[in-house]
Structure 1
């Protein structure tokens, strides 16, 4: 990597996002994370990371709101410089059957998980093209590929993530900007490990051929690779990392 590049990770304070952020610092990047404007713990998180040796910049951002993204990226770039790597990681779930799903929970998931890609990528893509170097890495889900009971909103949004990836990859490929999707399966984040052990052992693990949950570090390492010079020939790809649960 020539010089110290800047990576921006949305939803970088929680679960998978935190591991991606620290791995990117370990790989030599300046890292900026976004946090929800209502998260009053961001100061403590930054202080805790610094105590662990991770100097990470945090900016408030509602990824579902275009104007908020414009402001957040402008703040990030004024503090650390132009964004070279964008990791669209922020996401939410509002699970229920389609019969019970209301418009509010449909919109919330689509805006946070899919509209956010437009809102964030629009802020940085032109700069990457102008500099002839960039990496856009979109975090989707195994359920965007295979569907999931009670997740019509989430599965639709995550399937849309890869459609966005493929189309944008075609537009920017000649400018040395790659756009890729990572689709994790069940990863051992706090959210997943909070699932009752009986449910994990009877309904989830039996469907994962390798017989265990994925590790956040495994996904984060893939992000670091896709952001590297060595991955310059990979674009428009959807890389599954799910222990064999769903093979494309």
Structure 2
């Protein structure tokens, strides 16, 4: 499908916005997906093109957060493998299930994630007190509860991905003894893995629009660097506020869609 110059500029701008917000929080899909639909792409083609185009942005954001990733290599590997399995499962579901399958559950899921993000400091202290009482240490990868949660969140990410980063941060916050910026760095790795595996799957089995993919790819790569510069400077309270604000917008947009 041929895009007009104005449509192409809109898709490129959406890619920059999505790459920026994905690196800081997540939910960039809520910017690019409606723009792709507005250009006339069918929903599944738009979703697949979006997933392919956002891969460079995820990688760019992860590179921008490389300082916060130091010392987290093994954790990123274990959580990344979990995300890979979940993301592939979600990509398969995208082609097997109607888009209405998640329409009702996703807003509730994001709302729960926002509550967990808001309560994260208190929950983390409660979890640490329980560990102290039991004489146990925090597991570097969060244990089976976190792995199971990430598997499901990555499945959703491979399927659609709006507010996927919010889900990741809400799961890791209470279960990993790290500050929010270092968790955000891991979140960017997980997003890159899920988008990457979904993209590889879609290349062979789904229809997509190369023009839209390339425009979003260029835009999201630029946005990933912008998001890293902005996000890394935010104090934890401000970053948490941005996460909640983006999550609320995601819920409203999903309910009105």
Higher helix fraction (1 or 2): 2
Higher strand fraction (1 or 2): 1
Q: TM-score scaled by structure 1?
A: 0.29
Higher relative contact order (CA 8 A, sep 6+): 2
Q: TM-score scaled by structure 2?
A: 0.28
